[in-house]
Amino acid sequence: MASRTTSTTTVPVSASDNITGAYLARFRSVTDGSAGILPVTGAQRRFLLARRLDPHGRPDVVPLFFAFPRGAVDPDRLRAAALRLAARHPALRGRFDSLRGTPVLRLGPPSAEVRRIAAGPGESADDVLRRELAAWRPDGPALRLLLAAAPGDEEEILAVALDHAACDEQSLGIVTAGLSAAYGQPAQEQEQDHGPDHDREPDGVEEYRAAVELQLAAEAAASGGAARAHWAARLGALGSGHSGDHSGSPGSGRLPQPGARSAEVSTGMLTHRLPAATGAARGAVFPALLDAVSAAAHRLLGPGATPALGYPWGGRPAAAPPALGCFLNTLVHPATTGPAPAERTTPDAAPPATLEELSARWWDDLDHADTPFDEVVHAARSAGASWTGTLDGLLTFEDLHRRPPLVLGGAAGRETHLAGRPLAAPFAVSASHGEDLLVRFAWDRAHWPDPAAADAFAALLDTLRRHLRATAPGAAH
């Protein structure tokens, strides 16, 4: 077992009984105290493995998109701000590498990509950004800022894109706040930051190392017998609705082979805005979303399937410094909810789970949220699941009140969203909770046609509305 500590040198973890301990033992043996090489978290291990398994070697990219008045953003000033931010955060100035088969983060000089890209004939700013993000080179910097506009546009779109292995939701706030502050810094101070000694050892290396080691200690501590038993019981039925037929027809419970995708993908997106939840109801939004996404998955895959839905969750351990990086886990939710009231065909059909029941199961899962994804997959397969670790759907949730706005030179970016990007799963749901609750449903058209996706989104919204009405102030219980 691991002992939590603020040490920046080693974390005592047994290598004999968990994947994290074995990784750390291997890391220490291959690096032998080498300077400039840091361990990676369990989440980073998962992203790097997914990148290696992707037929085209594509990393998982997290982009934010902001509209600014055309000409309001100075690319040179933005580049200086991005380099200043990267110099302060090892996750941005590092390169993910493999050392004798062991994943590591290798530190380097501050690096960021800032480009204004021109639209080709007939292209929109969205078209340009889709093309550029799809062509993301995995050997480039973790932070990339792309400005795009088409002829005649009064606004240009700034994409703030990061390799997911280098950031999580909390890190996005660090990035927007850091870019805003650095962009507003006087030019002479920026020149001092990037003078002849700009590649000196940056601030934050020891803090980042401490945060990573505390995260690994938490992961090892959450990899014991009780955690394995929990995930084995929760996920032992995964894969039960799939078979060797990969037709991908709506409601069949079957998906095309993961390797069958081409480099060119076609994805659709549907969006809907609901009123923001207030008061105590805010705490019920996420379990309500989980059940709503489960309803959509069953509409797509059929009621006999047990889809695996993934959602990122986490945050730095309590004693960890607020370092920019990837300190989360992808939790797995087995979509096993009963039918909605309108879909029950017989009086004795299983009733849908109440929000209280859903919340209780979710809280049980959060009690084991530090168990690394690879350990969870192992536990599920040991219980008989025919699950390989691939996800049928993804749910991401962001509380916009926790992310500072991006303000460049006095102009505040208006956040927008880009449809048509490649997905890390056959379908993905993103929810942003701010002045309202914006729900976005994206799907890969190689898996389902548009009418099937629209039907699934309708099931999602119906389920979500039902739960939110039940938690609204003054609702009868």
pLDDT digits 0-9 by tens, 47-92 = 988 888 877 778 889 999 999 999 999 999 999 999 999 999 999 9
| 9 in a structural domain | no
Helix (H, G, I), strand (E, B) or coil at 442: strand
289/363 same-domain check:
yes
Residue 4: inside a domain, yes or no? no
Last residue of a domain, which of 218, 235, 264? 218
Whether residue 403 is contained in a domain is answered as yes
Please state the separation of Cα 104 from the chain's center in Å. Answer: 20
Q: Is residue 194 part of a domain?
A: yes
Q: How many CB atoms lie within 10 A of CB 55?
A: 11
* The pLDDT of residue 234 is above 80: yes
Is the separation of the CB atoms in 58 and 410 below 8 Å? Answer: no
2 inside domain: no
The answer on pLDDT for 341 being more than 80 is no
Asked whether the predicted pLDDT for residue 270 surpasses 50, the reply is yes
How far lies 150's CA from each of 43, 120, 124, 312, 411, in Å?
Answer: 37, 8, 5, 35, 20
- For residue 242, the domain's CATH number is 3.30.559.30
CA angle 207, 213, 215 (to 5 degrees): 105
Handedness of CA 325, 327, 330, 333 (dihedral sign): negative
Q: Are residues 201 and 264 in the same domain?
A: no
At residue 65, φ and ψ (nearest 5 deg) are -125, 130
* Same structural domain, 102 and 201: yes
User: Looking at the structure, do residues 307 and 429 belong to the same domain, yes or no?
Assistant: yes
The C-alpha atoms of residue 186 and residue 193 are separated, in whole angstroms, by 11
Q: What is the pLDDT of residue 472?
A: 65
Task: Calculate what percentage of the chain has a pLDDT beyond 90.
Answer: 64
Q: Please report, as a single letter, which amino acid is at residue 325.
A: G
Question: Region 379-391: what's the mean pLDDT?
Answer: 93
Instruction: Specify whether 113 is located in the same domain as 91.
Output: yes
pTM of the shown model: 0.84
The enclosing H or E element of 126 equals helix 125-134
DSSP code, position 195: S
Same domain, 446 and 316: yes
On whether both 174 and 300 belong to a single domain, the answer is: no
Report the pLDDT averaged over residues 215-222: 94
Q: What is the pLDDT of residue 422?
A: 86
Q: CA-based angle 309:312:314, to the nearest 5? A: 140
Q: What is the mean pLDDT of the chain?
A: 85
Of 200, 218, 236, the residue that ends a domain is 218
The mean pLDDT of 372-390, rounded to a whole number, is 93
389-423 CB burial, b ≥16 within 10 A, e <16: bbbbbbbbbbeeeebeebbbeeeebebebbeebbb
Nearest to 330 by CA among 52, 92, 50, 65: 50
Q: How far apart are CA 245 and CA 177, in angstroms?
A: 49
Report the pLDDT averaged over residues 168-179. 93
Looking at residue 123, which CATH number applies to its domain? 3.30.559.10
Instruction: For residue 264, give both structure tokens.
Output: 């060119």
245 has pLDDT over 50: no
Give the C-alpha separation, 439 to 171, whole Å. Answer: 22
pLDDT at res. 144: 97
Give residue 66's domain range. Answer: 19-218
Instruction: Specify whether 101 is located in the same domain as 148.
Output: yes
8 inside domain: no
Last residue of a domain, one of 184, 201, 218: 218
Indicate the number of domains in the chain.
Answer: 2
**Residue 11 forms part of a structural domain:** no
User: In what helix (H) or strand (E) does residue 425 lie, and over which residues does it extend?
Assistant: none
Same domain flag for 314 and 451: yes
Note the pLDDT of residue 247: 37
Closest alpha carbon to 337 in 472, 462, 469, 475 = 462
Q: Which two tokens stand for residue 173?
A: 């706030």
- Give yes or no: residues 229 and 82 share one domain: no
Reply yes or no on whether the pLDDT at 242 is more than 90. Answer: no
DSSP 349-390: SPPPPPHHHHHHHHHHHHTTTTS-HHHHHHHHHHTT----S-
Length reported for the chain:
477
Residue at 110 is within a domain: yes
Does residue 72 sit in the same domain as residue 96? yes
More confident residue, 471 or 436: 436
| 213 and 252 share one domain | no
